[in-house]
Chain A
Amino acid sequence: DAKTTQPNSMESNEEEPVHLPCNHSTISGTDYIHWYRQLPSQGPEYVIHGLTSNVNNRMASLAIAEDRKSSTLILHRATLRDAAVYYCILGVQGAQKLVFGQGTRLTINP
Protein backbone atom coordinates (compact mmCIF):
# COMPACT_ATOMS: atom_id res chain seq x y z
CA ASP A 1 0.00 0.00 0.00
CA ALA A 2 1.10 3.52 -0.73
CA LYS A 3 2.36 5.41 2.29
CA THR A 4 3.87 8.78 3.14
CA THR A 5 6.14 9.40 6.11
CA GLN A 6 6.78 12.78 7.67
CA PRO A 7 8.54 13.94 10.85
CA ASN A 8 6.06 14.68 13.63
CA SER A 9 7.42 18.14 14.31
CA MET A 10 9.96 20.70 13.20
CA GLU A 11 11.05 24.05 14.49
CA SER A 12 12.56 27.03 12.74
CA ASN A 13 13.19 30.72 13.19
CA GLU A 14 11.37 33.58 11.57
CA GLU A 15 12.75 34.75 8.23
CA GLU A 16 14.84 31.59 7.80
CA PRO A 17 14.20 28.91 5.17
CA VAL A 18 12.38 25.76 6.20
CA HIS A 19 12.73 22.37 4.53
CA LEU A 20 9.93 19.91 5.30
CA PRO A 21 10.70 16.35 4.15
CA CYS A 22 8.34 13.58 3.05
CA ASN A 23 9.18 10.00 2.15
CA HIS A 24 6.93 8.15 -0.30
CA SER A 25 9.01 5.20 -1.39
CA THR A 26 6.01 3.29 -2.82
CA ILE A 27 5.02 6.06 -5.23
CA SER A 28 4.06 5.12 -8.76
CA GLY A 29 4.87 7.02 -11.91
CA THR A 30 1.48 8.66 -12.23
CA ASP A 31 0.96 9.58 -8.56
CA TYR A 32 0.92 13.28 -7.79
CA ILE A 33 2.52 14.71 -4.66
CA HIS A 34 0.43 17.31 -2.87
CA TRP A 35 1.17 19.52 0.12
CA TYR A 36 -1.54 21.10 2.21
CA ARG A 37 -1.25 22.93 5.50
CA GLN A 38 -3.68 23.33 8.36
CA LEU A 39 -3.62 26.50 10.39
CA PRO A 40 -5.12 26.41 13.91
CA SER A 41 -8.91 26.09 13.94
CA GLN A 42 -9.10 25.85 10.15
CA GLY A 43 -9.37 23.15 7.53
CA PRO A 44 -6.31 22.28 5.42
CA GLU A 45 -5.43 24.62 2.58
CA TYR A 46 -3.52 23.98 -0.64
CA VAL A 47 0.17 24.79 -0.73
CA ILE A 48 1.64 23.18 -3.82
CA HIS A 49 1.69 20.01 -5.88
CA GLY A 50 3.88 18.32 -8.47
CA LEU A 51 4.54 15.14 -10.43
CA THR A 52 8.18 14.92 -11.48
CA SER A 53 9.70 18.35 -11.83
CA ASN A 54 10.39 20.87 -9.10
CA VAL A 55 7.60 23.42 -8.72
CA ASN A 56 7.48 26.98 -7.44
CA ASN A 57 4.58 29.21 -6.50
CA ARG A 58 4.13 32.31 -4.39
CA MET A 59 3.79 30.26 -1.20
CA ALA A 60 6.54 27.68 -1.49
CA SER A 61 8.73 25.44 -3.61
CA LEU A 62 8.48 21.69 -4.04
CA ALA A 63 11.66 19.74 -4.66
CA ILE A 64 11.08 16.19 -5.90
CA ALA A 65 13.89 13.65 -5.78
CA GLU A 66 14.98 12.19 -9.08
CA ASP A 67 13.66 8.73 -8.12
CA ARG A 68 10.49 10.39 -6.75
CA LYS A 69 10.73 8.43 -3.50
CA SER A 70 10.92 11.61 -1.48
CA SER A 71 10.07 15.27 -1.73
CA THR A 72 10.77 18.44 0.23
CA LEU A 73 8.52 21.42 0.76
CA ILE A 74 10.58 24.58 1.00
CA LEU A 75 9.35 27.75 2.65
CA HIS A 76 11.92 30.33 1.62
CA ARG A 77 11.44 32.83 4.44
CA ALA A 78 9.25 31.54 7.23
CA THR A 79 6.93 33.92 9.04
CA LEU A 80 4.94 33.39 12.21
CA ARG A 81 1.89 32.88 10.02
CA ASP A 82 3.49 29.76 8.55
CA ALA A 83 3.12 27.93 11.87
CA ALA A 84 0.82 25.05 10.97
CA VAL A 85 0.58 21.31 10.40
CA TYR A 86 1.88 20.44 6.94
CA TYR A 87 0.51 17.36 5.21
CA CYS A 88 2.21 15.46 2.41
CA ILE A 89 -0.45 13.68 0.34
CA LEU A 90 -0.17 11.25 -2.54
CA GLY A 91 -2.80 11.10 -5.25
CA VAL A 92 -2.62 7.37 -5.95
CA GLN A 93 -4.03 6.84 -9.41
CA GLY A 94 -4.03 3.05 -9.36
CA ALA A 95 -5.94 2.69 -6.10
CA GLN A 96 -7.97 5.84 -6.88
CA LYS A 97 -7.43 7.40 -3.49
CA LEU A 98 -5.53 10.04 -1.58
CA VAL A 99 -2.94 8.84 0.93
CA PHE A 100 -2.26 11.25 3.77
CA GLY A 101 0.87 11.55 5.82
CA GLN A 102 0.57 12.09 9.56
CA GLY A 103 1.60 15.70 9.14
CA THR A 104 4.51 17.77 10.44
CA ARG A 105 3.74 20.40 13.07
CA LEU A 106 5.90 23.40 12.20
CA THR A 107 6.74 25.85 14.95
CA ILE A 108 8.23 29.22 14.01
CA ASN A 109 10.20 31.08 16.66
CA PRO A 110 10.22 34.89 16.56
Chain B
Amino acid sequence: KAGVTQTPRYLIKTRGQQVTLSCSPISGHRSVSWYQQTPGQGLQFLFEYFSETQRNKGNFPGRFSGRQFSNSRSEMNVSTLELGDSALYLCASSRSLPWTVGLATNEKLFFGSGTQLSVL
Protein backbone atom coordinates (compact mmCIF):
# COMPACT_ATOMS: atom_id res chain seq x y z
CA LYS B 1 0.00 0.00 0.00
CA ALA B 2 1.07 3.61 -0.55
CA GLY B 3 3.22 5.16 2.14
CA VAL B 4 3.01 8.55 3.81
CA THR B 5 3.28 11.34 1.26
CA GLN B 6 4.64 14.76 2.11
CA THR B 7 4.59 17.68 -0.28
CA PRO B 8 6.49 19.60 -1.32
CA ARG B 9 9.80 17.80 -0.91
CA TYR B 10 11.84 21.01 -0.89
CA LEU B 11 10.86 24.59 -0.21
CA ILE B 12 12.77 27.84 -0.14
CA LYS B 13 11.21 30.87 1.50
CA THR B 14 12.36 34.23 2.81
CA ARG B 15 11.99 35.63 6.29
CA GLY B 16 8.53 36.93 7.05
CA GLN B 17 6.75 34.73 4.54
CA GLN B 18 4.39 31.93 5.48
CA VAL B 19 4.41 28.32 4.35
CA THR B 20 1.98 25.40 4.26
CA LEU B 21 3.17 21.81 4.25
CA SER B 22 1.00 18.82 3.44
CA CYS B 23 0.93 15.25 4.71
CA SER B 24 -1.21 12.43 3.31
CA PRO B 25 -1.29 9.48 5.69
CA ILE B 26 -1.59 5.82 4.88
CA SER B 27 -5.15 4.85 4.03
CA GLY B 28 -7.07 3.91 7.16
CA HIS B 29 -4.77 5.80 9.52
CA ARG B 30 -6.56 8.39 11.60
CA SER B 31 -3.58 9.92 13.40
CA VAL B 32 -1.02 12.32 11.96
CA SER B 33 1.83 13.77 13.98
CA TRP B 34 4.38 16.39 12.96
CA TYR B 35 8.04 16.78 13.91
CA GLN B 36 10.78 19.29 13.27
CA GLN B 37 14.26 17.91 12.71
CA THR B 38 17.37 20.05 12.89
CA PRO B 39 21.03 19.01 13.23
CA GLY B 40 21.33 20.67 16.62
CA GLN B 41 18.00 19.73 18.23
CA GLY B 42 17.23 16.36 16.73
CA LEU B 43 13.56 15.38 16.40
CA GLN B 44 11.19 17.79 18.13
CA PHE B 45 7.47 17.08 18.45
CA LEU B 46 5.20 19.75 16.97
CA PHE B 47 1.64 18.45 17.26
CA GLU B 48 -0.55 15.44 16.72
CA TYR B 49 -4.03 15.02 15.31
CA PHE B 50 -6.57 12.26 15.58
CA SER B 51 -9.91 12.34 13.80
CA GLU B 52 -9.57 16.04 12.93
CA THR B 53 -8.81 17.08 16.52
CA GLN B 54 -5.49 18.31 17.82
CA ARG B 55 -4.72 16.05 20.76
CA ASN B 56 -1.33 17.33 21.79
CA LYS B 57 1.03 20.18 21.02
CA GLY B 58 4.75 20.56 21.50
CA ASN B 59 6.62 23.54 22.82
CA PHE B 60 6.60 25.71 19.71
CA PRO B 61 5.39 29.30 19.25
CA GLY B 62 1.93 30.08 17.98
CA ARG B 63 3.36 30.75 14.51
CA PHE B 64 3.24 26.99 14.06
CA SER B 65 -0.23 25.65 13.48
CA GLY B 66 -1.87 22.69 11.86
CA ARG B 67 -5.10 21.01 11.00
CA GLN B 68 -6.45 17.68 9.91
CA PHE B 69 -9.19 17.13 7.38
CA SER B 70 -11.98 14.57 7.33
CA ASN B 71 -9.95 12.35 4.98
CA SER B 72 -7.13 12.37 7.60
CA ARG B 73 -4.83 14.47 5.42
CA SER B 74 -3.04 17.08 7.46
CA GLU B 75 -1.44 20.42 6.85
CA MET B 76 0.88 22.47 8.96
CA ASN B 77 1.42 26.18 8.58
CA VAL B 78 4.25 28.39 9.71
CA SER B 79 3.64 32.10 9.58
CA THR B 80 6.18 34.93 9.72
CA LEU B 81 9.08 32.62 8.95
CA GLU B 82 12.37 33.05 10.78
CA LEU B 83 15.82 31.83 9.82
CA GLY B 84 15.67 29.33 12.67
CA ASP B 85 12.66 27.63 11.12
CA SER B 86 14.94 26.08 8.51
CA ALA B 87 14.60 22.36 9.12
CA LEU B 88 13.32 19.05 7.85
CA TYR B 89 9.64 18.73 8.73
CA LEU B 90 8.46 15.16 9.09
CA CYS B 91 5.00 13.78 9.52
CA ALA B 92 4.05 10.32 10.69
CA SER B 93 0.80 8.44 10.44
CA SER B 94 -0.60 5.66 12.59
CA ARG B 95 -3.94 4.03 13.33
CA SER B 96 -3.88 5.27 16.92
CA LEU B 97 -2.23 8.14 18.73
CA PRO B 98 1.59 7.96 18.57
CA TRP B 99 2.13 7.43 22.29
CA THR B 100 -0.20 4.44 22.25
CA VAL B 101 1.69 2.75 19.42
CA GLY B 102 2.95 -0.53 20.76
CA LEU B 103 -0.18 -1.34 22.71
CA ALA B 104 -1.69 -3.04 19.69
CA THR B 105 0.05 -5.80 17.80
CA ASN B 106 1.74 -4.61 14.61
CA GLU B 107 0.88 -0.97 15.32
CA LYS B 108 3.71 1.39 14.46
CA LEU B 109 4.48 4.87 13.16
CA PHE B 110 5.02 5.38 9.46
CA PHE B 111 7.03 8.47 8.56
CA GLY B 112 7.08 10.41 5.33
CA SER B 113 10.34 11.50 3.71
CA GLY B 114 9.83 15.03 4.95
CA THR B 115 9.78 18.54 3.58
CA GLN B 116 13.13 20.33 3.65
CA LEU B 117 12.39 23.99 4.38
CA SER B 118 15.08 26.60 3.89
CA VAL B 119 14.43 30.13 5.09
CA LEU B 120 16.70 32.78 3.59
Chain A residues with CB under 8 Å of chain B are 32, 34, 36, 41-46, 49, 51, 87, 91-93, 95-98, 100-103
CB<8 Å pairs between A and B, sample of 14: A32-B101, A32-B102, A34-B102, A36-B111, A44-B111, A45-B111, A46-B108, A49-B101, A91-B99, A91-B101, A93-B100, A97-B98, A97-B99, A100-B42
Contacting residue for B102 out of A45, A51, A96, A103, CB 8 A: A51
A49-B108, A92-B99 given. 19 additional CB < 8 A pairs?
A: A41-B113, A42-B113, A43-B4, A43-B113, A44-B90, A44-B111, A46-B109, A49-B102, A93-B99, A96-B55, A96-B56, A96-B97, A96-B99, A97-B98, A98-B98, A98-B99, A100-B42, A100-B44, A103-B43
Binary interface profile of B, 96-120, with partner A (CB < 8 Å = 1, else 0)?
Answer: 0111111100001111111000000
Chain A residue contacts of B114, Cβ below 8 A? 43
Across the two chains, which residue of chain A brings its CB closest to B44? Answer: A100
A49 to B112, CA, bound (A): 20
Chain B residues with CB under 8 Å of chain A are 4, 42-45, 55-56, 90, 92, 97-103, 108-114
